[in-house]
Chain A
């Protein structure tokens, strides 16, 4: 129990430190939301608007950084993430609430699928080492090194078009209203296919490789030889003995990768105009939108920490050895 309290204290500390850094680092950057807005419009917005914008954003009274920091924590404890500048006056919480499901669904599901497929292929390649499956490796290595935005852009160019099944952008058909019905869901799926494939292709190989290596390592363990000696079917040895054990180290990697869902795929969402959080984060970064940035960073921080916790727990569940008391 003391251990758990320690872990929790540790996580709280990490969260605090990360949030604090996330507060201060962006504020070291010159410029402010108003200047960014003006620059963004490049002439579409008259310089006369500057004053009104400062008033609008509430940036006209100059508060010290420290006072802002204190305010930020006060707000945070009230569950208030503040108002976004880029999307003024939308509350940050609403923006995140709108975008997060998209990211979680697209990247999250893709990550899961990628992990499943990659692990499956990795098990296969590791078990059948020396057969044709070794030919998978160079291909997967190649794809794991391709920048995925590059892949995405090429996919858009090659696969989308006026008559193509694949839409080039967006999360769903623009004339639809999100609802759980027979029009919306297929449309959302259709829109997520290409980005999902892109992420899949460039991330699946990582899982294949690590799983394969683990399989190779585990295959030479004594208990595998014993399993063979016991005359078990090849399937059972491969799945229940080798793969089951080889999976363990990958589980924590998987849990952590779930934590990086938001932070990791900014560009896919941009390339595909996908209405997710990564895309919004990039806009917030460009616009010096501190409240929004902080809100998203908070989400990332929490999700990484939760993923860490999950990794711990998953290990505890899957590896009986760690369940040992004492």
Chain B
């Protein structure tokens, strides 16, 4: 497929790297658990590896509550991590606050999930952007410098003419405009990496498209490394170079976007892709997914299933899936495409009963 070649951007320098990133949120104990010694925790993120490169977009998809936002917040150092490592240009970083945090924030910026919630309703756009510029010393020396920097920012996110937007309050802007202000604010820090958490989920398709194009443009012009978190798999295909799939706090599949979306390997990814709405599957010939496939609730993250976390819902589950945590396995169709699934371990498949393996 030619499109794959095209979508693949030249591998740039690694900006931000997560290695074995883990986050557990402690849970308040119940009364009757007081005498038992266990301490419960939400296993929001477990052992996540992720690499952001200059000029590349990495998409992170997965079901609700699978830990996508948590990964972004961990990368932005907004949460302390339970385990693992975050490397900025190869250096381990752990910052909590103060100037170290600001220095980190200057290089890694986050765009929050909800454009309606992430702008302070009492401040003007000018205030939001000025702060971002000033904190990171990008405001210049004089008022004129600042004014120019502001205009520059707004122009970059295509909010022109700038003066029309500068003195507005967030509620006076449309969702798409707000989203772009949020992006402008992140750009004000002149970062190397941008963590965009569902930046378009609230917007209608036409506005959504505008924002995505903007991000793509920024990536290309400013050589940004972007993490793009979304529910909308189609947009991941359209917009990201790499796509990673998360399920219940773990990465289950990764690879370049076209491959992951067109030839998904992991059963969960397949379920995801199959579930995505498809206008070509027209009403009337609706083919509701067979009841037994992927049905059931997402797993509890307090007591995640043993072995592969997807196994209770997996149509192709084998005995080993219940006990052993699957490791990353190369699929082999396209370089870099991997899945954490025993189906791709030949030894396992061979030892499984024929019936089980056939489901593949």
Residues of A within 8 A of B (CB): 1-4, 325-326
Question: Quick one: which of B12-59 are within 8 Å of A by CB?
Answer: 27-31, 34, 40
Cross-chain contact B40 with A1 (CB below 8 angstroms): no
Does chain A have a CB within 8 A of B302?
Answer: yes
- A326's partner among B31, B34, B302 (CB-CB below 8 A) is B302
A selection of 6 A-B contacts at a CB cut-off of 8 Å is: A1-B31, A1-B34, A2-B34, A3-B28, A4-B31, A326-B302
Residues of chain B lying within 8 A (CB to CB) of residue A3 = 28
CA distance A1 to B30 in the complex (A): 7
Residues of chain A lying within 8 A (CB to CB) of residue B29 = 1-2
Residues of chain A lying within 8 A (CB to CB) of residue B40 = 326
CA distance A212 to B306 in the complex (A): 52
Residues of chain A lying within 8 A (CB to CB) of residue B34 = 1-2
Residues of chain A lying within 8 A (CB to CB) of residue B30 = 325-326
Residues of chain A lying within 8 A (CB to CB) of residue B27 = 326
Distance from A315 Cβ to chain B, minimum over Cβ atoms (Å): 16
Question: A4 — nearest CB in chain B belongs to which residue?
Answer: B31
Quick one: CB contact mask for B165-188 with A, threshold 8 Å, 1 for yes? 000000000000000000000000
Residues of B within 8 A of A (CB): 27-31, 34, 40, 302
Residues of chain B lying within 8 A (CB to CB) of residue A326 = 27-28, 30, 40, 302
Distance from A286 Cβ to chain B, minimum over Cβ atoms (Å): 48
Question: A1 — nearest CB in chain B belongs to which residue?
Answer: B34
CA distance A1 to B28 in the complex (A): 9
Residues of chain B lying within 8 A (CB to CB) of residue A325 = 28, 30
CA distance A325 to B27 in the complex (A): 9
Residues of chain A lying within 8 A (CB to CB) of residue B31 = 1, 4
Distance from A11 Cβ to chain B, minimum over Cβ atoms (Å): 18
CA distance A3 to B28 in the complex (A): 8
* A2-B34, A3-B28, A326-B40 given; 11 more Cβ-contact pairs under 8 Å: A1-B29, A1-B31, A1-B34, A2-B29, A4-B31, A325-B28, A325-B30, A326-B27, A326-B28, A326-B30, A326-B302
Residues of chain B lying within 8 A (CB to CB) of residue A1 = 29, 31, 34
Question: Which 3 pairs from chain A and chain B are nearest by CB?
Answer: A1-B34, A325-B30, A326-B27
CA distance A325 to B300 in the complex (A): 14
Residues of chain B lying within 8 A (CB to CB) of residue A2 = 29, 34
Residues of chain A lying within 8 A (CB to CB) of residue B28 = 3, 325-326
Distance from B193 Cβ to chain A, minimum over Cβ atoms (Å): 33
Question: A5 — nearest CB in chain B belongs to which residue?
Answer: B34
CA distance A2 to B27 in the complex (A): 12
CA distance A1 to B34 in the complex (A): 6
CA distance A326 to B28 in the complex (A): 5
CA distance A4 to B28 in the complex (A): 11
CA distance A2 to B26 in the complex (A): 13
Residues of chain B lying within 8 A (CB to CB) of residue A4 = 31
Question: B30 — nearest CB in chain A belongs to which residue?
Answer: A325
Distance from A232 Cβ to chain B, minimum over Cβ atoms (Å): 30
Question: B35 — nearest CB in chain A belongs to which residue?
Answer: A1
Distance from B32 Cβ to chain A, minimum over Cβ atoms (Å): 9
Question: B34 — nearest CB in chain A belongs to which residue?
Answer: A1
Question: B27 — nearest CB in chain A belongs to which residue?
Answer: A326
CA distance A4 to B29 in the complex (A): 11
Distance from A3 Cβ to chain B, minimum over Cβ atoms (Å): 6
Question: B33 — nearest CB in chain A belongs to which residue?
Answer: A1
Distance from A135 Cβ to chain B, minimum over Cβ atoms (Å): 34
Distance from A110 Cβ to chain B, minimum over Cβ atoms (Å): 36
CA distance A3 to B30 in the complex (A): 10
Distance from B42 Cβ to chain A, minimum over Cβ atoms (Å): 8
CA distance A2 to B28 in the complex (A): 9
CA distance A200 to B302 in the complex (A): 51
Question: A3 — nearest CB in chain B belongs to which residue?
Answer: B28
Distance from A317 Cβ to chain B, minimum over Cβ atoms (Å): 15
Question: B302 — nearest CB in chain A belongs to which residue?
Answer: A326
CA distance A119 to B354 in the complex (A): 70
Question: B25 — nearest CB in chain A belongs to which residue?
Answer: A326
Distance from B301 Cβ to chain A, minimum over Cβ atoms (Å): 10
Distance from A222 Cβ to chain B, minimum over Cβ atoms (Å): 16
Question: A2 — nearest CB in chain B belongs to which residue?
Answer: B29
CA distance A325 to B40 in the complex (A): 11
Q: Chain B CB within 10 Å — which of A1, A2, A3 has the most?
A: A1
CA distance A4 to B30 in the complex (A): 11
CA distance A262 to B357 in the complex (A): 76
CA distance A325 to B31 in the complex (A): 9
Distance from A5 Cβ to chain B, minimum over Cβ atoms (Å): 9
Question: B32 — nearest CB in chain A belongs to which residue?
Answer: A1
Distance from B29 Cβ to chain A, minimum over Cβ atoms (Å): 6
CA distance A1 to B31 in the complex (A): 5
CA distance A2 to B37 in the complex (A): 12
CA distance A273 to B347 in the complex (A): 93
CA distance A2 to B33 in the complex (A): 11
CA distance A4 to B27 in the complex (A): 15
Distance from A53 Cβ to chain B, minimum over Cβ atoms (Å): 56
Distance from B43 Cβ to chain A, minimum over Cβ atoms (Å): 13
Distance from B31 Cβ to chain A, minimum over Cβ atoms (Å): 6
Distance from A117 Cβ to chain B, minimum over Cβ atoms (Å): 37
CA distance A2 to B31 in the complex (A): 9
Distance from A258 Cβ to chain B, minimum over Cβ atoms (Å): 26
CA distance A155 to B47 in the complex (A): 74
CA distance A4 to B32 in the complex (A): 13
CA distance A3 to B31 in the complex (A): 9
Distance from A326 Cβ to chain B, minimum over Cβ atoms (Å): 5
CA distance A326 to B41 in the complex (A): 9
